[in-house]
């Protein structure tokens, strides 16, 4: 694992592995999520059919992305939704703040939104005297703890109920300790309920945006998303530009795999479809709806025929739940908003390899993430591509070639030469058998043997053994 980049990934991993409570919490939660998913997808052939369908929908959407975004903007505008475009997270934050200030708000209620985490919106709003109030239970917990989400779907998955109970008793005045889940939920509900009505602006994410109808789809289980998008007078929806789909008929197949992969449900408790502000005669709903569409490097990712597959993601988080690395270290070790396998391919492309390329080393390439991905993203292949880009001075990804090393290049050229010529190959294997046991533990061998056995070279090569058996190796 390299440690070239701007945060101590190795140190984070060491700390996570040394935290026995964290590992216990992760093991319990990850096992439960994986079992729920297995229980919902029992017919493997049917599951593969659904994956193929979702993959085709997402690929079609990306192939027409500029056209679909234009159609989405036109339809939303016809419906009364005000559309804003943001090339960077700074522009998106400024847009949100401008809307909030126009309505004189000093606080906003927020539903769960990974794009808002990508924008570091809460920190930005606080810096501009606007209080962000997280209403998703997991987000509410980590906001009290002054932490960031550790999982795409379950932001407080690293905490157990005892830790949450202790946090509530310390941070919410007059709250006695309890570790009963129903009582903890009731405490959060009592704390948040009145704020939906006292706050003039609500913010949410978008799971899918339908170009055909200008509909913003929001998937959730707690009802807080519906409250954030209906109780305040102003609703601001935030989405990455890849979330658009062409038709309303594209939504059910994606929703089916999204909920099953994320939480093992046939369908979530709430599925919100927002197509306009409140109309004359309607008794609820916001008077004003804004849609902020964020690029933040997605257009560059789209331009690469192979790497654009990163944008197929529907943010179910199941690749995290099945990753042998993530389930042992959790999300905070990754430092950035998107952890786990999807973060390993998305974040380096957004931030640049020289900044976040080290994330690509946190994978055993076991292929588990690709096998469960509902959009059939070939994550291990994309990790390999980004690892290669890290050494490739002629690459195309931002920060490519940051690990280029002339000595290493010469060594690999030598390896290529040895394996191209049988005579050199025979000589090198013979020398490895003779000198291998006495090689000093220095450089790469020292790093390798720190946590592994020293490699043992056979005294005779496979070619020699085959010849001794009288078998031609030609």
For residue 305, how far is the Cα from the chain centroid?
20
Cα of first residue to Cα of last residue in the chain, in angstroms, is: 39
- Between helix 406-420 and helix 422-435 the angle, nearest 10°, is 110
| pLDDT tens digits for range 180-219 | 999 999 999 999 988 998 999 999 999 999 999 999 999 9
Relative to beta strand 131-134, strand 81-86 is: unpaired
Domains along the sequence of the chain with CATH: 41-296 (3.40.50.10420), 406-469 (no CATH)
pLDDT average, residue stretch 314-327: 97
- Between the alpha carbon of residue 181 and those of residues 153, 155, 376, the distances in Å are 18, 16, 35
Neighbours of 222 (CB within 10 A): 20
| pLDDT tens digits for range 79-96 | 999 999 999 999 999 999
State both tokens at 247: 């038709």
If DSSP states are collapsed to H, E and C, what string results for the chain? CCCCCCCCHHHHHHHHHCCHHHHHHHHHHHHHHHHHHHHHCCCHHHHHHHHHHHHHHHHHHHHCHHHHHHHHHHHHHHHCEEEEEECCHHHHHHHHHHHHHHCCCCEEEECCCHHHHHHCHHHHHHHCCCEEEECCHHHHHHHHCCCCCCCCCCCCCCCCHHHHHHHHHHHCCCCCCCCCHHHHHHHHHHHHHHHHHHCCEEEECCCEEECCCCEEEEEECCCHHHHHHHCCCEEEEEEEHHHEECCHHHHHHHHHHHHHHHHCCCCCCEEEEECCCCCCCCCCCCCEEEEEEECCCHHHHHHCCCHHHHHHCCCCCHHHHCCCCHHHHCCHHHCCCCCHHHHHHHHHHHHCHHHHHHHHHCCCCCCHHHHHCCCCCCHHHHHHHHHHHHHCCCCCCCCCCCCCCHHHHHHHHHHHHHHHCHHHHHHHHHHHHHHHHHCCCCHHHHHHHCCCCCCCCCCCCHHHHHHHCCCCCC
Half-sphere exposure of 285 (CA within 13 A, CB side): 16
How far is it, in rounded angstroms, from Cα 293 to Cα 303? 18
What is the pLDDT at residue 408?
83
Relative to beta strand 234-240, strand 288-294 is: parallel
Residue 24 or residue 469, greater confidence: 24
pLDDT average, residue stretch 100-127: 97
Residue 2 has pLDDT above 70, yes or no: no
How far is it, in rounded angstroms, from Cα 306 to Cα 2? 24
Q: List the one residue out of 401, 391, 208 whose CA is nearest residue 315.
A: 208
Residues paired with residue 245 on neighbouring β-strands, in sequence order: 210
| pLDDT tens digits for range 260-298 | 999 999 999 999 999 999 999 998 899 999 999 999 999
Residue 442 or residue 175, greater confidence: 175
The answer to whether residues 386 and 402 touch, using CB atoms and an 8 Å cutoff, is no
pTM over 0.75: yes
Share of residues in the chain with pLDDT > 70 (%): 98
| pLDDT tens digits for range 390-430 | 999 999 999 999 999 888 889 889 999 999 998 898 888 88
What is the pLDDT at residue 462?
82
The answer to whether residues 274 and 235 touch, using CB atoms and an 8 Å cutoff, is yes
What is the pLDDT at residue 243?
98
What is the pLDDT at residue 469?
87
pLDDT average, residue stretch 3-9: 72
Relative to beta strand 131-134, strand 215-220 is: unpaired
Q: How confident is the model at residue 458 (pLDDT cuts 50, 70, 90)?
A: confident
Contacts 24+ apart (CB under 8 A), 381-385: 381/306, 382/306, 382/307, 382/309, 382/310, 382/345, 383/341, 383/344, 383/345, 385/306, 385/307
Residue 4 has pLDDT above 60, yes or no: no
Q: List the one residue out of 349, 245, 246 whose CA is nearest residue 295.
A: 349
Residue 3 has pLDDT above 60, yes or no: no
Residue 473 has pLDDT above 80, yes or no: no
| pLDDT tens digits for range 53-88 | 999 999 999 999 999 999 999 999 999 999 999 999
Length of the chain: 474
| pLDDT tens digits for range 232-250 | 999 999 999 999 999 999 9
Residue 472 has pLDDT above 80, yes or no: no
Q: List the one residue out of 311, 307, 312, 235 whose CA is nearest residue 272.
A: 235
- Between the alpha carbon of residue 104 and those of residues 80, 110, 230, 270, the distances in Å are 22, 17, 18, 30
- Between the alpha carbon of residue 442 and those of residues 117, 288, 415, 449, 463, the distances in Å are 43, 65, 19, 10, 30
Instruction: Give the Cα-Cα-Cα angle 66, 290, 196 (nearest 5 degrees).
Output: 140
């Amino acid at each position: 694992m390299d440690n070239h980049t701007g945060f101590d990934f190795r140190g984070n991993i060491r700390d996570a592995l040394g935290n026995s409570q964290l590992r216990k919490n992760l093991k319990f939660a990850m096992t439960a999520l994986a079992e729920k998913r297995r229980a919902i997808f029992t017919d493997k052939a049917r599951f593969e059919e659904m994956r193929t369908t979702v993959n085709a929908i997402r690929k079609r959407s990306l192939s027409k992305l500029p056209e679909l975004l234009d159609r989405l903007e036109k339809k939303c505008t016809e419906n009364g939704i005000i559309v804003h475009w943001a090339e960077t997270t700074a522009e998106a934050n400024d847009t949100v703040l401008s809307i909030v200030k126009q309505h004189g708000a000093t606080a906003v209620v927020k539903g769960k939104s990974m794009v808002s985490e990508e924008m570091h919106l809460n920190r930005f709003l606080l810096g501009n005297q606007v209080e962000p109030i997280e209403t998703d239970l997991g987000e509410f917990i980590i906001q009290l703890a002054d932490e960031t989400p550790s999982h795409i779907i379950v932001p407080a998955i690293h905490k157990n109920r005892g830790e949450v109970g202790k946090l509530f008793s310390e941070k919410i005045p007059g709250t006695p300790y309890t570790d009963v889940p129903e009582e903890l939920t009731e405490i959060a509900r009592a704390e948040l309920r009145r704020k939906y009505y006292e706050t003039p602006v609500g913010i949410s994410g978008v799971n899918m945006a339908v170009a055909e109808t200008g509909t913003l789809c929001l998937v959730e289980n707690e009802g807080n998303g519906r409250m954030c998008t209906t109780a305040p007078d102003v609703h601001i929806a935030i989405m990455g530009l890849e979330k658009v789909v062409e038709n309303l008929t594209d939504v059910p197949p994606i929703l089916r795999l999204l909920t099953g992969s994320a939480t093992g449900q046939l369908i979530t408790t709430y599925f919100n479809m927002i197509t306009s502000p409140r109309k004359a005669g309607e008794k609820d709903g916001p008077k004003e709806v804004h849609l902020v569409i964020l690029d933040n490097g997605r257009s560059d990712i789209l331009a690469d025929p192979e790497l654009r597959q990163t944008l197929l993601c529907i943010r179910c988080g199941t690749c995290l739940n099945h990753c042998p690395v993530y389930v042992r270290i959790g999300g905070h070790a990754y430092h950035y908003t998107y952890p786990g396998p999807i973060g390993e391919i998305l974040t380096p492309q957004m931030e640049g390899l020289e900044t976040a390329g080290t994330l690509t080393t946190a994978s055993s390439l076991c292929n588990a993430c690709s096998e469960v991905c509902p959009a059939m993203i070939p994550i291990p292949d994309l990790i390999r591509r980004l690892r290669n880009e890290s050494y490739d001075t002629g690459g195309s990804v931002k920060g490519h070639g940051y690990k280029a090393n002339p000595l290493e290049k010469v060594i690999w050229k030598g390896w290529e030469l040895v394996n191209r010529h049988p005579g050199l190959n025979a000589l090198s294997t013979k020398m490895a058998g003779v000198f291998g046991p006495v090689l000093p533990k220095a450089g790469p061998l020292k790093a390798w043997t720190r946590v592994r056995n020293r490699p043992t070279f056979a005294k005779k090569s496979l070619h020699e053994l085959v010849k001794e058996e009288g078998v031609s190796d030609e």
